[in-house]
Amino acid sequence: QKDYGNKTGGYVMRPICFFRWQDFTFSKAFGKITLPPPPPSSRPPPLQRQQPSAGDRAKKTDNNSRKFSVGAIVALAVLTLIALIIISGLLAWKFRVFCWRRKSFTEVELNQTGITTVRIRKYSFETIKTATDTFSERNKLGRGGFGEVYKGVLPDKRKVAVKRLFRRSRQGEKEFKNEVVVVAKLQHKNLVRILGFSVKGDEKILVYEFVPNKSLDFFLFDPTNQGQLDWTTRYKIIGGIGRGILYLHQDSPLKVIHRDLKVDNILLEDDMNPKIADFGMAKICGMDQTTENTSRVAGTEGYMAPEYMELGQFSVKSDVYSFGVLVLEIVCGKRNRSFLPSGLNLVTHAWRLWRDGTPLQLLDTTIADSCPSGEVTRC
């Protein structure tokens, strides 16, 4: 140990080492000593991502484009195939319907009317059975003097009214053909249009357009539905029936006498446009004829003119008489038979009121306060 002037220190010497210590800084004792570098880390340095070259980028883009093009082509091919299948199916269905319609046409001749041929559809009886679900009761629309009427759906999805004539009906083969030919020739917005017919043995079928709103009696004589027939609607119905009769008598290619006009034979469309139906007893007249006789009086009591009912004489006036009874029923809202218990029919009762100067007493009470009296009186 040595004293270095107020500082303490010392050293030890040996052959192979020298050790020195003191309590002050060594002046330039270790100036040439350098620290060794730190030992290498066991974790490898992160690899730097090599930037792709322009050629590599172009090659990758080309591969992606090829993959997209192949996918688009496959998808387009699948969609095209599906579209072709759908279009082919529609065309096949249309072709079948066209062939069915074309094969269903037939020609019916009725020489005495001046008609040489009339083209109408002849349906197979099997088609009609399928359309009506074998004349199911749930498709039954009504029953008349000559047959029952059913709702049907044809193969082309059209709704129709199918009239199945009674096998023991008084209507014979000739009358059946008359109805088919006559109605097929008549085209008017106030007449039910016939679409065709079917004959198989004793089975005789008439196919009409479907009128959805039932017949006039359903509204006129039913208290729950009567409110839908205000005076404006009734007046419209009267005018439509009149125009239909005028067409039958005067403006049609043939002069046709219906012979069974009644409220049940007036069908109504959705807008209450009336259509005259059931030409089962229509008689074809020559254009120069005004009166004919028949030994077979057919019609509905209360609507038949006296000369027709008693003598079998009918003319256009017979239909005019029936139309008058229809108008009276529409005005008063009651059936012509409802006056029978008092010993009067509707025509006689109306005539007495007219003669007494009180025709408005006949008016339906549900419309009495909402209709012009002058218009009602003219009817």
How many whole angstroms from its chain centre is CA 289?
A: 43
Those residues with Cβ within 8 angstroms of residue 295's Cβ, 6 or more apart along the chain or in another chain: 312
Bridging pattern class, strands 115-122 and 194-200: parallel
Counting Cα atoms < 13 Å in the Cβ hemisphere of 311 gives 10
Instruction: Please check if 163 is assigned to a binding site.
Output: yes
Of the chain, the end-to-end C-alpha distance in Å amounts to: 155
What is the residue-wise DSSP string for 33-61?
Answer: --PPPPPPPSSPPPPPPPPPPHHHHHHHH
List C-alpha distances in Å: 85 to 74, 94, 172, 228, 332. Answer: 17, 14, 50, 50, 61
State the Cα–Cα distance between residues 41 and 231, nearest whole angstrom.
Answer: 108
Specify the 3-state DSSP secondary structure of 140.
strand
Q: Which two tokens stand for residue 250?
A: 């005067």
Q: How far apart are CA 208 and CA 149, in angstroms?
A: 10
DSSP 193-223: PEEEEEEETTEEEEEEE--TT-BHHHHHS-T
206: tokens are 């008439």
Nearest-CA neighbor of 263 among 218, 310, 297? Answer: 218
* Whole-Å CA distances, 360 to 23, 64, 76, 302, 342: 146, 91, 76, 22, 19
Just list the catalytic residues. 260
The half-sphere exposure of 26 on its side-chain side, counting CA atoms within 13 A, is: 9
**What's phi and psi for 164, nearest 5 deg?**
-100, 110
For 189, the 3-state DSSP assignment is: coil
Non-local (6+) Cβ contacts of 132 within 8 A are: 139, 150, 151, 152, 162
How many whole angstroms separate alpha carbon 77 and alpha carbon 173?
Answer: 60
Which neighbouring-strand residues pair with 13? 18
Annotated binding site for ATP: 163
